[in-house]
């Protein structure tokens, strides 16, 4: 009997999001271990190992994390170690130095440092590129979730044309979605589900709601997600000043139910998304999208195909798109139908097969 290929998936606090991918890998004959920083109720056949990871740059804690990786890799026999988080993408290759294990990494986005062009972000961008340059020869293969990130890696010599590929996201399990949104709500309801940071366009969503109301369109606006910023640009007090126009629901576990109670999904981001999974979840519910033409979004949402594309950081443009979506049923129906078709390209079955084929080819 052939030995099973043992895959180790390395993530951070959200490592449990790889459970569905792991189940498909198990069904395809792989053995799977997940490394993560938070306990979770993992299925019996998935081995889980907990470790410590400081998300901020800290040489002392990073050194401790590398030592943990070294211990874990020496105590287990992995054929491939796959990273899905920013810091493991360069810490794991360092830890696996001189080990026979092959390293595969998925670049899930480049974040604020590659969006902002201010002076403070330049050293962070330099450090990121420098660290990946150091470990470039220790990585067997790199997958990207959008072409813009790939182009940055190519430009800086961090990958070769022969050792990278595109795999869009981690896959949406369409069998778990259930009924699509009826989209017949009174009043017309727009929902935004996101981490609440300024670059996600949260203030634009708030301002657009106020603009719609001022123009006589009394739509309902739902904002869902944790506030991860406390600045002059975005904070709790600022959000609450829009409470007459927007219902901020905070963190919720019933996202699909909230999507079904909505008529359109809004993500006015200019953050450098890796791959905006939430747009796929909304598409799978049959919601037409209103979003922006940025990295990690443009591969999912096309103007007047699945979405209305608006300018970044433009509340008036966003308000006009909301009014158009809320008053043009034929347009909304067309975008909804296209979204339901498009999301099938990113199903869990498709993405899992991509990873399975990648691992087999890597070995």
pLDDT 10s digits, 66-94: 999 999 999 999 999 999 988 999 999 99
**Mean pLDDT within 176-195:** 95
pLDDT of residue 170: 81
pLDDT at 150: 93
d(CA 196, CA 186): 26
**Is the pTM for the entire model greater than 0.85?**
no
Task: Kindly state the average pLDDT of the residues 131-145.
Answer: 94
- pLDDT tens digit sequence for 11-24: 999 899 899 999 99
The strands making up 31-36's β-sheet, listed across from edge to edge, are: 47-50, 31-36, 6-10, 80-83, 102-107, 141-144, 164-166
Cβ-contact 351, 21 below 8 angstroms: yes
CA 204 to chain centre: 21
- Across 281-308, average pLDDT: 94
The string of pLDDT tens digits covering residues 151-166 is 999 999 999 999 999 9
Residue 260 token pair: 């079904």
Percentages helix, strand, coil for the chain (3-state, rounded to 5) are 40, 20, 40
Q: What is the mean pLDDT of residues 286-313?
A: 94
- Report the range of poorest mean pLDDT among 17-31, 48-62, 107-121, 180-194: 107-121
> What b-and-e string marks burial along 304-341, b requiring 16 or more CB atoms within 10 Å of the CB?
eebbbbbebbbbebbbbbbbebbeeeeebeebbebbbe
* Fold of the CATH domain 175-346: Rossmann fold (3.40.50)
pLDDT at 276: 87
The answer to whether 201 and 270 have CB atoms below 8 angstroms apart is yes
Range 6-171+347-362 has CATH code 3.40.50.2000: yes
CATH code 3.40.50.2000 region(s) in the chain: 6-171+347-362, 175-346
pLDDT at 120: 76
């Amino acid at each position: 009997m052939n030995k099973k290929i043992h895959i180790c998936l390395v993530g951070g606090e959200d490592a449990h999001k790889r459970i569905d991918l792991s189940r498909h890998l198990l069904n395809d004959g792989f053995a799977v271990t997940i490394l993560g920083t938070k306990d979770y109720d993992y299925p019996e056949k998935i081995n889980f190992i907990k470790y410590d990871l400081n998300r901020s740059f800290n040489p002392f804690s990073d050194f401790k994390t590398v030592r943990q990786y070294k211990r874990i890799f020496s105590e287990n026999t992995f054929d491939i170690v796959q990273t899905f988080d920013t810091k493991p993408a360069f810490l794991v290759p360092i830890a696996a130095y001189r080990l026979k294990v092959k390293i595969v990494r998925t670049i899930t986005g480049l974040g604020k440092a590659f969006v902002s062009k201010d002076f403070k972000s330049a050293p962070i961008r330099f450090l990121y590129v420098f660290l990946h340059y150091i470990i470039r020869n220790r990585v067997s293969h790199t997958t990207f979730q959008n072409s813009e990130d790939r182009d940055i890696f190519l430009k800086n010599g961090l990958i070769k044309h022969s050792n990278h590929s595109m795999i869009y996201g981690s896959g949406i399990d369409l069998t778990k979605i259930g009924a699509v949104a009826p989209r017949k709500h009174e009043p017309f309801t727009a929902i935004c589900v996101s981490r609440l940071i300024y670059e996600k366009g949260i203030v634009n969503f708030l301002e657009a709601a106020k603009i719609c109301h001022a123009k006589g369109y009394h739509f309902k606006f739902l904002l869902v997600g944790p506030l991860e910023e406390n600045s002059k640009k975005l904070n709790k007090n600022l959000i609450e000043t829009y409470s007459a126009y927007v219902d901020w629901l905070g963190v919720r576990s019933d996202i699909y139910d909230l999507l079904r109670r909505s008529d359109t999904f809004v993500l006015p981001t200019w953050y450098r998304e890796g791959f905006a999974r939430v747009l796929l979840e909304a598409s799978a519910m049959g919601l037409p999208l209103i979003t922006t033409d940025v990295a990690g979004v443009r591969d999912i949402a096309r103007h007047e195909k699945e979405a209305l594309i608006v300018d970044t950081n433009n509340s008036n443009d966003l308000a006009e798109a909301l009014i158009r979506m809320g008053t043009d049923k034929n347009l909304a129906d067309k975008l909804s139908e296209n979204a339901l078709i498009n999301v099938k390209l990113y199903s869990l079955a498709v993405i899992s097969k991509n990873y399975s084929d990648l691992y087999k080819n890597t070995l």
